[in-house]
Amino acid sequence: MTDFQSVFGAAPEGVWAAPGRVNLIGEHTDYNDGFVLPVALPHSAVAAVRRRDDGLLRLYSAQGDGLVTELKAAELDPAAVTGWARYPAGVVWALREAGHPVGGLDVHIDSDVPTGAGLSSSAALECVLAAACNELYGLGLTPAELALTAQRAENDFVGVPCGVMDQMASMCCAEGGALFLDTRDLAQRQVPLDLAGAGLRLLVVDTRVKHDLGDGAYAGLRAGCERAAALLDLLALRDLPPAALDGALVQLPAELRPLVRHVVTENARVEQAVALLDAGDLAGLGPVLTAGHASLRDDYRVSCPETDLAVATAVAAGALGARMTGGGFGGSVLALVAAARLEQVAAAVLDAFAEAGHTTPRVFPAVPSAGARRLS
Ligand code: GLA
């Protein structure tokens, strides 16, 4: 008997998976209409789902407290749902708000995406349910439309004013590639990322410093960027070309300048990274990653001592480049490492954390994996 059967007493109609992600480069650019380059992780949220005809939404998480959360699909109230259930409930709410005929469901979720690690565990929960609802209720939505619905759930049900990168990554990434995404019009291209062929690995260091984008700092940064764009009479900071950066900075209040500098230089780094990957120069990506980290640390100021230590240690131990990934304020670091140096870099980071008295990080190599899909 499967776990779904033991919880809900019958077999599911189908099983779907949606992954977490690491972002190679392009951080805090998505809510500025800019570019991002995420890669899906092998870690996924897996949802077994069955429709119900009584309008009840019954949610169970293998990582939860063993209880079934029971809600009415037609009466979902953001203020009344807490914890992990907000993500799947928010998707049903967002689909219904958009006029889609989504009714009751039994949902069993089992996720191995680390939570609070900047690896988009929440987008994985949202996207897996969006993909399941799309098929079970015959909605006919595209992956990008499902990603936008999942983002709406996070923005308006969960209350985190995130951009669209994480949901697009979870829905649209392909195995063996990075997703080059223009977050303004959602134009996308899969850029091949044959790490193994180039003798490279992508090492993820989850510092275990829990990041929480709901705590106001993320919203404050987003508001700062929007204020800067308005002061410069731009639709979004994406519209400021690097050549016009210096002239724009002097027109802005001092506290907004570093934010604008980060966003403009980071967009340029995404384009540079894509050019390197297109040219087959995967190792050339290293310095771009490290420059991205310096910008997040010194200009955007979203790194923390643990992520800074992981980056500095990885580079000193022979990584080609490293940076924090995700929203920041903790979370994870990625390092581009020659396969032959993987153990050495991982060991150096573990040693440095032990010496500094930090919690032991979780270290694992990331293989570019597939986006949301039906498993059975
Ligand atoms: C979080 C958000 C994303 C993006 C990143 C920073 O992951 O959910 O939309 O803004 O932070 O790049």
Q: Which tens digits make up the pLDDT trace of 215-262? A: 789 999 999 999 999 999 999 999 999 999 999 999 999 999 999 999
Ligand 1: centre distance to CA 11 (Å): 36
Per annotation, catalytic residue among 166, 206, 215, 351: 166
| pLDDT higher than 60, residue 1 | no
Ligand 1: centre distance to CA 329 (Å): 12
**DSSP-derived 3-state class of residue 324:** strand
Write out pLDDT tens, residues 4-26. 999 999 999 999 999 999 999 99
Q: How far apart are CA 361 and CA 304, in angstroms?
A: 14
Q: Whose CA is nearest to atom 5 of ligand 1?
A: 327
**DSSP-derived 3-state class of residue 19:** strand
What domains sit in the chain, N to C, each tagged with a CATH number?
2-190 (3.30.230.10), 194-366 (3.30.70.890)
Q: How many residues does the chain have?
A: 376
Kindly state the average pLDDT of the residues 114-138: 97
Q: How far apart are CA 321 and CA 141, in angstroms?
A: 38
Q: Confidence class of residue 3 from pLDDT cuts 50, 70 and 90?
A: very high
Give the pLDDT score at 213.
Answer: 72
| Pocket lined around ligand 1, Cβ cut-off 6 Å | 27-28, 30-31, 162-163, 165-166, 213, 326-327
Average pLDDT of the chain is 97
Strand partners for 189: 180
> What tokens appear for 320 in the block?
């080609």
Q: Whose CA is nearest to atom 8 of ligand 1?
A: 162
Ligand 1: centre distance to CA 334 (Å): 15
Write out pLDDT tens, residues 175-209. 999 999 999 999 999 999 999 999 999 999 999 99
Q: Whose CA is nearest to atom 1 of ligand 1?
A: 327
At 13, give phi and psi (nearest 5°).
-80, -25
CA–CA–CA angle 227, 187, 179 (5° rounding): 95
Q: How far apart are CA 304 and CA 259, in angstroms?
A: 17
Q: Whose CA is nearest to atom 9 of ligand 1?
A: 163
Ligand 1: centre distance to CA 296 (Å): 13
| Contacts with 256 (C-beta within 8 Å, 6 or more apart), sequence order | 224, 227, 228, 231
Ligand 1: centre distance to CA 254 (Å): 24
CA-CA distances (angstroms) from residue 252 to 191, 226, 268?
A: 36, 12, 21
CB count within 10 Å of CB 120 equals: 31
Sign (positive or negative) of CA dihedral 21, 25, 27, 29 = negative
Percent of the chain residues topping a pLDDT of 70: 99
Q: How far apart are CA 365 and CA 70, in angstroms?
A: 37
Sign (positive or negative) of CA dihedral 120, 121, 122, 123 = positive
Radius of gyration of the chain (CA): 21
Atom of ligand 1 nearest to the CA of 36: 12
As a whole number of angstroms, the longest Cα–Cα distance in the chain is 66
Nearest CA among 179, 172, 202 for reference residue 365: 202
Atom of ligand 1 nearest to the CA of 29: 12
Write out the DSSP string of 38-57: EEEEEEEEEEEEEEESS-EE
Q: How far apart are CA 256 and CA 35, in angstroms?
A: 20
Give the pLDDT score at 211.
Answer: 76
| pLDDT higher than 60, residue 131 | yes
Give the pLDDT score at 196.
Answer: 97
| pLDDT higher than 90, residue 85 | yes
Nearest CA among 82, 62, 72 for reference residue 7: 62
DSSP designation for 297:
I
Question: Strand order of the sheet with strand 362-366?
Answer: 321-325, 332-338, 200-206, 362-366
| pLDDT higher than 70, residue 373 | yes
Give the pLDDT score at 267.
Answer: 98
Q: How far apart are CA 285 and CA 11, in angstroms?
A: 47
Q: 166 an active-site residue?
A: yes
Q: How far apart are CA 295 and CA 218, in angstroms?
A: 16
| pLDDT higher than 70, residue 73 | yes
Atom of ligand 1 nearest to the CA of 118: 7
| Amino acid code (one letter) for 101 | P
Burial class (CB in 10 A: 0-12, 13-18, 19+), 220: exposed
Contact call for residues 57 and 71 (beta carbons, < 8 A): yes
Query: Ligand 1, residues 30, 126, 167, 293: which to mutate, most atoms within 8 A of Cβ?
Result: 30
Give the pLDDT score at 214.
Answer: 64
Query: Ligand 1, residues 126, 166, 211: which to mutate, most atoms within 8 A of Cβ?
Result: 166
